[in-house]
Amino acid sequence: MVINRQQTEMRRIKALTIVGLNQVKRITTWHYRVKSQSSDQWYEVKYEFVPHNDWVCDCPDHTFRKVICKHIESVRLSKKLRNTIIANSDVDEIETNLEFTCKCGSQNMRKDGVRKNKACEIQRYRCLDCGNRFCNNIGLRSKVSAKAITASLDLYFRGVSLRQVRQHLLQFYGINITHVAIYKWIRKFGEVVQPYVDQIIPKDVSGVYHVDEMVVHVRKEENDKGHCQWLWNLMDSTTRYWICSKISSTRNIDDARAVFQDAKLKSPKPLAIVHDGLGSYDEAFKKEFWTRENPRTKNIRSISVRKDGLNQKVERLNGIVRDREFVMRGMDHAESAQKLVDAFRIHYNFIRNHNSIKKTPAEQAGIKLDLGQNKIENLFKLAMRSQSN
């Protein structure tokens, strides 16, 4: 009995290792393939309702010895892990909201042919109430469903690496694509949505803007400090609305002026600019905000980084960006780095709820877009509709 218990526990440990190495491939709900630990062979693990009403495996351990092998244990563990992830993740809202509607509001529809383009074929639908034909597509040339794409974007912006997102799609959706395709979705999201959201001026911001710069690693850019660039972030104090972000190779006066000029285009006139005392800020402030007329914008230097400092909010934002950059292990070019940061800024402002204010910074700043449950998909569609008008 002791030996059997030890063997059972050993199989569970081996099953945990198999799952950790991502060697469990989900074919359907009741069909999996599990890689052998001693060869390149893959075993078939299926659920048989008759006569076993249990999982069966074609490996020798289960076929001849009639024991619950490590492959079956790994499938059970994988299914349990998947249910746990879906039950406790924000992705649950995206994955379970599978219904979509016609522009008339009806969900009474049927498939009606496909639309062909250079990249793929996209399923068309016909509304049985109004007769309208349409595609449930968010503007990306891909056979992958909009729900899977938006789930991928959300996972990436929440700190999951591209390759881990790819494994998530393969294991939970059965979608086999490269991490490069996911990266292209992210860039496309930023390119489409950024012009739309940047034209929206937040009305309920406090007017006290925090600005700070941080070093980011850009692999294919080089200067006297190595493969580094400067990322400038400017955000509102009360709403936590991330107003602008700029990548530059230096941090001189012209770079600081570019940040302030961008902020003037995207937000109301500030009451105060809070910074860490860098000389470039003072000179750029004189060029962009100083005036003899009242009310004047205040230039506040907060050099301390301790509890009596005033710039902790933007420094906290820098920490969030740093966590994202750590998973990415740096970025490639200054141009691509700028596009990724802009896409991350959109997700920060419009998609994720801020822990302190319990809503998105955009909602706190008075921007009401009514994005519903799947905010990424609906924001994408609003931006695409804005381009077509």
pLDDT bin (cut points 50, 70, 90) of residue 217 is confident
pLDDT bin (cut points 50, 70, 90) of residue 206 is very high
Question: If you ran DSSP here, which 8-state letter would residue 248 be given?
Answer: E
- Residue bearing the bigger pLDDT, 134 or 241: 241
pTM above 0.85, yes or no: no
Q: How far is residue 233's CA from residue 241's CA, in Å, rounded to a whole number?
A: 11
**Where in the chain are the domains?**
2-89, 102-136, 143-200+376-389, 204-366
For the chain, what is the total number of helices (H) and then of strands (E)? 13, 12
3-state DSSP assignment of residue 50: coil
Q: Tell me: the pLDDT tens digits for 32-87?
A: 899 888 888 899 999 887 776 788 999 988 888 888 899 998 888 888 776 655 44
H/E element holding 113?
strand 109-116
Q: How far is residue 383's CA from residue 200's CA, in Å, rounded to a whole number?
A: 12
Please say whether the beta carbons of 58 and 43 come within 8 A.
yes
Please say whether the beta carbons of 362 and 348 come within 8 A.
no
Q: Nearest to residue 362, comparing CAs of 343, 347, 377, 380? A: 347
Q: Which two tokens stand for residue 296?
A: 């004047």
Q: Which two tokens stand for residue 308?
A: 């009596």
Task: Report the pLDDT value the prediction gives residue 5, as an integer from 0 to 100.
Answer: 65
Q: Which CATH architecture has domain 204-366?
A: 2-Layer Sandwich (3.30)
Q: How far is residue 66's CA from residue 63's CA, in Å, rounded to a whole number?
A: 6
* Entry field: residues in the chain: 389
Q: Tell me: the pLDDT tens digits for 350-360?
A: 998 988 888 99
